[in-house]
Chain A
Amino acid sequence: MAPLVFDIRHIQLLRKWGICGVLSGTLPTAAQQNVFLSVPLRLMLEDVLWLHHNNLADVKIIRQGGDKIMTGITRERGAKLSKLVEDRLNKSFEYQRKFKKDEHIEKLKKIGKINDETTAEELEQLNKSNNNDHLIESSLFIDIADTSMILEDINIESDGLSYDYIRDLLFKQYRQAGKMQTYFLYKALRDQGYVLSPGGRFGGKFIAYPGDPLRFHSHLTIQDAIDYHNEPIDLISMISGARLGTTVKKLWVIGGVEEQTNETHFFSVEWAGFG
């Protein structure tokens, strides 16, 4: 189960709350480099648990396959939408043409090629002679919508699912995927103001940034939670993880939850610099 966010405005809001996710949208036949990926935004399961738990997001569960979902979109509706897109594009072109022509006239005035007495015919002549219309035509931008228009047409059979039901389902899913205690580590770090992203790149469960990832380097690689009382720290992975962390200026962090007090305990490890 991959939690996805489709609306750009929602993505902006999430970012403000310190949830960045990973953009994943691309065309299957023309896969893109990471920086060019678009909506939907893929979140970590922990993000969704946190959002749902704090009542900040509405979670809908899609159980059907892709074909079934798309049955909500009829041929006529498709034609209507494509007409709408075309109209929008033409309007945008018109606006751009007018803007560029005005700009061009201003420029000609400035360099003294024309003045206020220049007639429309003379102007036309001038434009024709330097192929201006053609140049404008070739420089028009095509606006591509960043939010799907067919999304609201999709019929998702998830109405009537209660908050509690969805919460139980999410937690059940999460327990199957990993340890519940890892979520408590996630929560504790979020409460301290860290922004968390998937940490596979640095050999951890999460990487933690002290603020927005575009402004800061990450400080920590956080490992999966281990049992506070009975699970020993794997020294081999600690040695390799902390060495890697030292070279990329990150501390290797391990944590767990104490059973009686429900307190989270973290320890940060780094290579001592010798030996």
Chain B
Amino acid sequence: MATTDIIYLVKNNLLYFQMWTEVEILQESFSWRGSNLHLLKGRPPHKLSNDTDTEDDDMLSSSQSLEFILPINMSQYKENFLTLECLSQIFSQFCSPSTERILLAIINDDGTIVYYFIYKGVRKPKRN
């Protein structure tokens, strides 16, 4: 699937299937190894299971924080694409220094999308 297609696929999936809000495509793009990467940002409809509890206490039930989403094709990994360097670059160029995670949207060739959080550095799992 072409890179522009997957951006809209993920955008629609987040908006109309996962019920996210304020989902938009970031203006600036990021050229990496011959392909142009676009990021999305959006707001989840409720607290995600990975969010820390303290965060919840601070903001009460007002609104969830914005997430950055990187859509990528499952097949892209064969083309020497998502390296550690690439992730570092995305964190430093797109996100504010306080951003600790990006949401990776992995698109399968059957159209299904799976979502994974990538955190910079080692991080403790959530207590429960």
Q: Which residues does A use to contact B, with CB under 8 Å? A: 189, 192, 194, 208, 210, 219-220, 226-236, 238-239, 242, 249-251, 253-256, 258, 265-275
Contact = CB atoms under 8 A, between A and B. Distances in A.
Contact of A234 (B77, B113, B126): B77
B124 A270 contact: no
A239 B115 contact: no
A232 B80 contact: yes
20 contacts: A194-B122, A228-B83, A229-B85, A231-B83, A232-B78, A233-B83, A235-B72, A235-B74, A239-B106, A239-B116, A249-B125, A251-B123, A267-B87, A267-B118, A267-B121, A268-B123, A269-B104, A272-B115, A274-B18, A275-B13
Given A226-B84, A232-B79, A275-B18, 18 more contacts: A192-B122, A231-B83, A232-B81, A234-B77, A235-B74, A238-B116, A239-B106, A249-B125, A266-B121, A267-B87, A267-B119, A268-B121, A268-B123, A269-B104, A272-B48, A272-B115, A272-B117, A275-B113
Contact of B115 (A208, A220, A234, A275): A275
B88 A210 contact: no
A272 B50 contact: yes
Interface residues of B, number: 37
B49 interface: yes
Contact of A189 (B74, B116, B122, B126): B122
Interface centre among B84, B88, B119 (most CB of A within 10 A): B84
A253 B116 CA distance: 13
Interface centre among A189, A265, A272, A275 (most CB of B within 10 A): A272
Contacts of B104: 269
A271 to B, nearest CB: 6
Interface in B1-50: 13, 18, 48-50
